[in-house]
Amino acid sequence: MASSSYTSLLVLVALVTAASAQLSPTFYGTSCPRALATIKSGVMAAVTSDPRMGASLLRLHFHDCFVQGCDASVLLSGMEQNAIPNAGSLRGFGVIDSIKTQIEAICKQTVSCADILTVAARDSVVALGGPSWTVPLGRRDSIDANENEANTDLPGFNSSRAELEAAFLKKGGLNTVDMVALSGAHTIGQAQCSTFRARIYGGDTNINTAYAASLRANCPQTVGSGDGSLANLDTTTANTFDNAYYTNLMSQKGLLHSDQVLFNNDTTDNTVRNFASNPAAFSSAFTTAMIKMGNIAPKTGTQGQIRLSCSRVNS
């Protein structure tokens, strides 16, 4: 009998733990009902001022979730921000800080930086004409960050298709379709010359000749010269969230090596074709994948904290 009671207790504890770990779209419905509207207005203002900011906020969320889960660790000053994939290229910290300040003014220490960043990523997509989705909420903020994991777990611009699949599968079981859909975030934003220089100067053969020539005009071959010069990731509709990224891949106009590997006589070709010809299929797959990514190892319940400032832990 004692053993049975103990087992029942363990089951009860497991159920309570599982319940506390569930995120909910209505998490702030009572505690901070104006939170979502405040985030949306902040994002809209930022993207209206600088359309590229939409892509930057989306990337910030991705780089957060792929390192110890969606816990706002990437927002902490230093540490992950100094990692090779992040240093000198992550943007949007000021936008998140501004939104956090506005929310703290109406709901003291209630809304996490992790949730603000997750919602801001969604609102950025919407602001640029992309699909919307319901964001589960209730994440808490980490009290640490992991620069080493950022260096090892964030997929790079030279990644192969197999490396991309492995990197995504490692994070919350994001499958190949999720990976191809999330890569579609490159329908907005820009990349630095240093990330595609090798590709346009003979490093890759799977690139449109005229496209490569046009890129060379603002990206000198000499390393260190023009490294920060920018090119649009989507050569057709750079500031509109659509499915043109996939059409570009079919014309060998993927800017990064890690873009074009998705359409290179390989297993992901058919998914690219589907997304290129069917905008609704891309939108559906993208929103599904974004929700899955936003659910990677969230801190909930009494884990972590609700930071007062997104750039530092509470004193």
- Asked if 63 is an active-site residue, the reply is yes
136 is known to lie in a ligand binding site: no
Q: Which of 59, 61, 63, 197 is catalytic?
A: 63
115 in a known ligand binding site: no
Q: Is 71 annotated as a binding residue?
A: yes
234 is in an annotated binding site: yes
Whether 186 has a binding-site annotation, put simply, is yes
Phi, psi of 115 (to 5 degrees): -70, -40
| Angle value at C-alpha 149, between 145 and 152, nearest 5 degrees | 155
CA–CA dist 299, 301 (Å, integer): 7
Tokens representing 213?
């020539």
The reply, when asked if residue 73 is annotated as ligand binding, is: yes
Q: 48, exposed or middle or buried, with CB in 10 Å at 0-12, 13-18, 19+? A: exposed
Q: What is the DSSP letter of 202?
A: I
**80 a known binding residue?**
yes
DSSP label at residue 140? B
Question: Does the annotation place 178 within a ligand binding site?
Answer: no
Largest CA distance in the chain: 79
Distances (CA, A) of 88 to 83, 85, 197, 227: 10, 9, 17, 11
Q: What DSSP state is assigned to residue 117?
A: H
What residues contact residue 15 under an 8 Å CB cut-off, 6+ apart?
A: none
Q: 107: burial class by Cβ within 10 Å (0-12, 13-18, 19+)?
A: middle
Task: Find out whether 67 is annotated in a ligand binding site.
Answer: yes
Distances (CA, A) of 255 to 61, 108, 130, 183, 207: 21, 43, 21, 12, 9
User: Annotation-wise, does 155 bind a ligand?
Assistant: yes
Task: Check the annotation: does 54 bind a ligand.
Answer: no
Residue 60: CB atoms within 10 A of its CB come to 25
Residues placed in the known binding site for heme b: 186
| Bind-site residues for substrate | 155
What residues are designated binding site for Ca(2+)? 64, 67, 69, 71, 73, 80, 187, 234, 237, 242
Annotated binding-site residue numbers: 64, 67, 69, 71, 73, 80, 155, 186-187, 234, 237, 242
Residues annotated as catalytic are 63
